[in-house]
Amino acid sequence: ADNENNIASSQPRSPLAVVEEKWKPQLQRNNTNNTSASGSVGNSAIPEKERQNIAERLLRVMCTDLGALSVVSGKEFIKLAQTLVDSGARYGAFSVTEILGNFNTLALKHLPRMYNQVKVKVTCALGSNACLGIGVTCHSQSVGPDSCYILTAYQVEGNHIKSYVLGIKGVDLRDNGDFIHHWVQNVLSEFVMSEIRTVYVTDCRVNASAFSKAGMCLRCSACALNSVVQSVLNKRTLQARNMHEVIELLNICEDLAGSTGLSKETFGSLEETSPPPCWNSVTDSLLLVHERYEQICEFYSRAKKMNLIQNLNKHLLSNLAAILAPVKQAVIELSNESRPTLQLVLPTYVKLEKLFTSKANDAGVVSKLCHLFLEALKENFKVHSAHKVAMILDPQQKLRPVPPYQHEEIIGKVCELINEVKESWMEETEFEPSTKKPRVAGEATAAQEEDWFGKNEVYDYLQEPLFQATPDLFQYWSCVTQKHTKLAKLAFWLLAVPAVGARSECVNMCEQALLIKRRRLLSPEDMNKLMFLKSNML
């Protein structure tokens, strides 16, 4: 229909003739308002600056909902635009399709200009970063059979974490980890200098060794805990270990949770905060049945379908829920998007390790499962030195979550990281703390060396009392920057890095990107630019 309109309007006729032919009834009805406007119809060509303003508004409409890609070229939207133009009538009444043409074409014509404008703002924001570096997540999100990667940069601005979506790419089965690494580096090179220090957070599909060459590479904590649960509750694994009662329980819970009568509308939601997109729902049915057990029994009793309930092993259900509920709660806490989370990774590992160890002494199948969970935790949930340093930087935790024999090791990790990045501080003399004059030359050398590596500063910080209430971490480090200069710099870098690579907005973003790809509404380059505007302009 749009092509027909364009063909019809492409005939060599003057705008005045078009208005006289198509819009004469409107001019007659609005004789008073349009008398002065009709005189300017002959000059109805809109200035280029005005066309850019219209294109910008169209791009904002598209970024609000990418489904508007097809809407803005529809007849009803053009009628609305025509009515608004006739009402405003700055340049007189004229045909929108005659003067502006296809709205998609107009908007996409100015897409590169707006993309470059927003790109400059994002580049300046990342380049003006006063702390040591940034955090970057590269995480895939599946929507049905398709999936795509989303590349996001994180840094502290003021006392808040700011994120910028830098790129989005459809996943090709032929793409290996090295190919994704090259794509990430190419995109980052357009926004940040190669010297900037980066902590990467990736999912299990990405080759971590390739990213480790460009900076520290951490695995998404939600993906890691998901792998822990999946490896233990895999039905083949359970069958090989003769845990048939667990398989039966999982099947019954899946049947109960998947039945038509059991729904969130019937029994309410299991939790107020949803886990991240990369958390698999293999345990959700079991936890839901345990949480709503009484309501489910009442429901099936009224329906006179008690066979499933009678076959349910309530004792095993309770024991499994006691193991899995803390794991899911940990995933939810680690995926919090409103505050720092990297400092919670090591305490989470310690907490779950203690949980599985305490349950491993029980008799029966629960003990076997807990031994499997312990092995899977050590294999899949890796704790990096960045996690250890981030934990110390939380004044409510410091070294409290770990046993004393690990304290010196973690303090050493902090000093090592300070030593690695100390070169970037040499030009920032205004942040260097003043040193006391030593009495002896030999003592001066030792004291300066320890202070250079940050040991004195770390010990001074650790001797301060723990916070009793949960602090605003960035507000705290802003207040003690002069006192703990090196640690404050580490805090403003590491605490901006998320523990989980996938965000709640990833699902919707990938759905829209894959919809555009399937319908071939845009080229991959234009789709990427439009998603960039959607994330960073509004």
Q: Is the confidence at residue 199, as pLDDT, over 70?
A: yes
pLDDT (mean) for 310-339: 91
Work out the mean pLDDT of the chain and round it to a whole number: 78
522 vs 411 pLDDT, higher one: 411
pLDDT (mean) for 83-92: 67
pLDDT (mean) for 485-489: 90
Separation between Cα atoms, residue 372 and residue 370, nearest integer Å: 5
**Most confident range, picked from 62-76, 123-137, 460-474:** 460-474
Residues 151 and 294 in one domain: no
Does 322 map to a domain? yes
Structure confidence by residue, pLDDT tens digits, 200-209: 999 877 777 7
pLDDT at 88: 65
528 vs 94 pLDDT, higher one: 528
Residues 207 and 299 in one domain: no
Q: Residue 204: which residues within 8 A CB-CB, separation 6 or more?
A: 219, 220, 223, 227
Does 61 map to a domain? yes
Structure confidence by residue, pLDDT tens digits, 253-262: 888 876 644 5
Among candidate residues 323, 265, 314, the one with its CA nearest the CA of residue 289? 314
pLDDT (mean) for 274-284: 77
Residues 233 and 193 in one domain: no
Residues 253 and 172 in one domain: no
Q: In the structure, what pLDDT confidence band is assigned to residue 12 with cuts at 50, 70 and 90?
A: very low
**Range with lowest mean pLDDT among 17-31, 49-63, 182-196:** 17-31
Does 36 map to a domain? no
For 244-256, give the DSSP string: HHHHHHHHHHHHH
Element (H, E) at 86: helix 75-88
- Beta-ladder partners of 133: 197
323 vs 449 pLDDT, higher one: 323
Provide the residue range defining the domain that includes 55: 51-101
480 vs 210 pLDDT, higher one: 480
Residues 249 and 180 in one domain: no
Element (H, E) at 152: strand 146-157
Residues 185 and 318 in one domain: no
Q: In the structure, what pLDDT confidence band is assigned to residue 332 with cuts at 50, 70 and 90?
A: very high
Number of Cα atoms under 13 Å in the Cβ half of residue 284? 15
Among candidate residues 289, 361, 293, 297, the one with its CA nearest the CA of residue 324? 289
Angular region, 469: left φ>0, alpha ψ -120 to 50, beta rest: beta
Residues 260 and 371 in one domain: yes
Residue at a domain's end among 356, 381, 406: 381
Q: How many structural domains compose the chain? A: 3
CATH number for the domain harbouring residue 156:
3.30.420
**Range with lowest mean pLDDT among 69-83, 230-244, 494-508:** 69-83
pLDDT (mean) for 419-434: 54
Helix axes 407-421, 485-494, angle to 10 degrees: 90
Residues 278 and 376 in one domain: yes
Separation between Cα atoms, residue 247 and residue 222, nearest integer Å: 24
Q: In the structure, what pLDDT confidence band is assigned to residue 42 with cuts at 50, 70 and 90?
A: very low
Residues 159 and 119 in one domain: yes
Q: In the structure, what pLDDT confidence band is assigned to residue 396 with cuts at 50, 70 and 90?
A: very high
Does 512 map to a domain? yes
pLDDT at 96: 66
Separation between Cα atoms, residue 94 and residue 45, nearest integer Å: 9
Q: Write down how long the chain is.
A: 538
Residues 250 and 137 in one domain: no
Q: Is the confidence at residue 156, as pLDDT, over 60?
A: yes
Q: Is the confidence at residue 508, as pLDDT, over 90?
A: no
Does 403 map to a domain? no
Does 447 map to a domain? no
**Range with lowest mean pLDDT among 268-272, 324-328, 384-388, 495-499:** 268-272
Q: In the structure, what pLDDT confidence band is assigned to residue 118 with cuts at 50, 70 and 90?
A: very high
Whether 165 contacts 510, CB under 8 Å: no
Q: Is the confidence at residue 459, as pLDDT, over 60?
A: yes
pLDDT (mean) for 235-253: 90
Q: In the structure, what pLDDT confidence band is assigned to residue 376 with cuts at 50, 70 and 90?
A: very high
Does 425 map to a domain? no
70 vs 532 pLDDT, higher one: 532
pLDDT (mean) for 449-456: 64
Angular region, 278: left φ>0, alpha ψ -120 to 50, beta rest: alpha
pLDDT at 262: 52
Residue at a domain's end among 381, 404, 432: 381
pLDDT at 173: 65
Separation between Cα atoms, residue 266 and residue 269, nearest integer Å: 9
In this structure, which amino acid lies at residue 309?
I
Q: Is the confidence at residue 387, as pLDDT, over 90?
A: yes
Whether 359 contacts 367, CB under 8 Å: yes
pLDDT (mean) for 372-379: 94
Q: In the structure, what pLDDT confidence band is assigned to residue 90 with cuts at 50, 70 and 90?
A: low
pLDDT at 430: 44
Does 487 map to a domain? no
pLDDT (mean) for 294-321: 82
pLDDT at 473: 92
Distance of CA 437 to the CA centre of its chain: 48
pTM (global) more than 0.85: no
Q: Is the confidence at residue 356, as pLDDT, over 80?
A: yes
Q: In the structure, what pLDDT confidence band is assigned to residue 436 with cuts at 50, 70 and 90?
A: very low
Q: In the structure, what pLDDT confidence band is assigned to residue 279 with cuts at 50, 70 and 90?
A: confident
Q: In the structure, what pLDDT confidence band is assigned to residue 373 with cuts at 50, 70 and 90?
A: very high
pLDDT at 352: 96
Separation between Cα atoms, residue 169 and residue 309, nearest integer Å: 46
Residue at a domain's end among 361, 381, 401: 381
pLDDT at 409: 93
Residues 234 and 372 in one domain: yes
Residues 136 and 67 in one domain: no
pLDDT (mean) for 168-184: 78
Query: For the chain, what is the total number of helices (H) and then of strands (E)?
Result: 30, 5
The fraction of the chain above a pLDDT of 70, given in percent, is 76
Q: How many other C-beta atoms are found inside a 10 Å radius of the C-beta of residue 345?
A: 26
- What are the start-end ranges of the H helices in 436-522? 441-453, 455-463, 473-479, 485-494, 505-519
